[in-house]
Structure 1
Amino acid sequence: MHTQIGIVGAGPAGLLLSHLLHLAGIDSVVVERQSRAHVEARIRAGVLEQGTVDVLRESGVGERMLREGLVHDGIELAFRGEKHRIRFPELTDGKRITVYGQHEVVRDLIAARLAAGGPIEFETEDLSVHGVQSDRPLIRYVKGGVQHEISCDFLAGCDGFHGVCRQAIPAGLMQVFEKVYPFSWLGILADAPPTQDELIYSNHDRGFALYSMRSPEVTRLYLQCDPADDIANWPDARIWDELHQRLEGGDGWRFREGRITQKGITAMRSFVSAPMRHGRLFLAGDAAHIVPPTGAKGMNLAVADVRRLARALDTFYASGRTEALDTYSDLCLKRVWKAQRFSWWMTSMLHRVEGATPFEREIQLAELDYVTSSEAGARTIAENYVGLPFD
């Protein structure tokens, strides 16, 4: 088989790229290791920047998001037992965020691609890519015991941090930047209607906590924990007790508990692979960069990447011009590094650091006091949180 764009990975990056290319009249095939059911059930981030919402809406896959997503006008930062609200619209010329689960975005994109007849190869084995520096790169995989090979004009590596595409880049042609944080997040999903309209980020002496939501019926909550901790050490009662201590202050607010349907521990890391282009291979999303979830940037960076890549490929096929393809990596990385800076800053400001001195602790609290009492400080959080311009 031959296609114009071979896409590895059926996450939001790969699926949205395929959809945007379809709208431009460019053929693509998406190849994915996992089953459709597995891909649609993966629970990941759920905060969409204004730019991400606009891309999904303008490309015709945002109807359910606009109907079911939860639009938020701000977030709250809690410290020293008090909550302080950062108001987005008045600080960002009307921009907001929308809470709508990544798995819901994936479901919408899969439905759109299949309705348009777009090929998605699920449940593949022995997936590999070859010839990324050649004029005709290849995707090889086994499905149903049969070997398949797809040749393409260009490859898009949208297969995540552990995928095969970045591994196919020849040694010495890639520079890696990485930071591993000395704490993790314990996250839960609970069948409990949210008792708060917006997210609460809490800096507490016992450690960071985040109150979030996924729908009008489901609450999403996180606790800072030790990276070496085992989820077996966290029975439900201990989780709820710790969340109540870290999130509830002296204002009388209490959140609802509910049946915990999912829990797990997630490592915190920052990672950037540069450049994001190698010959005919273009990396996008988690295949090229990982951010700690504190800044809610992961999926939004993936959307910004593939939007730029789709436009560059459209220009190439329409005119033969390669300037947009040639600048893809540099322009994406400018936005990636700004998101890394914001995510690192939010993470550093909100988490308890083991071994921190009393001086360092007071500096952390002073930073929170500044950003919640100064319009300039609040604007810094607001404009980064709702999303910097995609262009």
Structure 2
Amino acid sequence: MMYAETSAGLSDKQTRATVPPDIAIQLRALYRSFGNPLPPDAFSQGATYSPVPVRLDPTRPVTFARPLAHEQFVLAETGLGVVIAPHHLVTTRRMVQLPRIGRPDAIRIIDPSDSTGTTEWPCTLVAVSPRADLALLQCSALRRVPLPLATVPPAGHPIVLLGTSGWFGDSPSHEPELIRGVVVSSVGRSGSRLSPVDLFLLRTAVELTDGGGPVCDVAGRLVGLSTSRFQSVLSPCGLSAGISASAVAEFVRQHVNSVGPITSELPREDVRDVRLFLQQATVVLRVYVRGLAATVIRGNANLPKDDQARPPASPCPKCGGTGEVDCPNCRRGRSKIRRPVVVARNPQTGQPIIQQRFYSIECTTCGGKGRLDCPLCGERGTRDTP
């Protein structure tokens, strides 16, 4: 049972719950701390709420003009998903395993036919890969056709991917953009649990966020799924990593049988409408979590008076409320070391000629994450106001 704000009078059988002034202050501070816009009439002092049923039919869309105020969900993450089979899509593991939060309470996709972005289809988590940065979702209302699969082109071949260079959030005008790049290497990252054929490297002209978007060849065939981005000493502009379509198909076939074959032929021609191919097979995901709002509105009368009177927590001045800070010993999880290398020998004396060269390694302080827990607040991101 969820709680929604009512605009008219209530019957005698319905339960009334009034938000006290101090609780209303806590709710406003909570939603602002997550960076979400606050509805003008949400959590007002003395507002009356009543329980209303929520439709749980997975085959029907869930449409809300104000999803945060109606369902008491907090938007925690937004990303991309790629249609891999009928009614199934794949995305990165970070979309279903949020940092410091864990599994989200709701995963939805924006209805592709709704230009306003207010209609969402519920998704069900099918499986999470224990090896790769992959997660499989199911949506009964999804009617998109998956892209044909192909192997990763050799190094130097052009590729096309659909991604974003920033947070695209809720606004329908901030759509994923078409980005062109080139394959750098098909060798896996050193020290990773993935096999060498699972991970390939690519270089793009713009800075990408965390992945989830499709990577295609110039013929419009899916060759992989973009994942993390890291900094390289040899490439100051940074590289993007992708999981090959073979690894994606191998993971999906463990749960779904309707995955297409993979071709190894190189693309023969450049498809002019490759953007249409990518848009038809890409959806925008929204991940929600329940905040303190649902607990307070459901049973604020059961809360201790000390908790109700406590002032709202202020964001940590060290981390800004994220609970994490940049690792001081690396840059995005990679650090460089200097080692002596024998490059040649003196033809007269036979003595080795040694030069100092730099190598990129995984940071041992943060384990390659590039972030550490805030030393001031730990993982909370907030400090209680004195």
Q: Same fold (TM over 0.5)?
A: no
Higher RCO (C-alpha under 8 Å, 6+ residues apart):
1
Which of the pair is proportionally richer in helix? 1
TM-score, structure 1 normalization: 0.28
TM-score, structure 2 normalization: 0.28
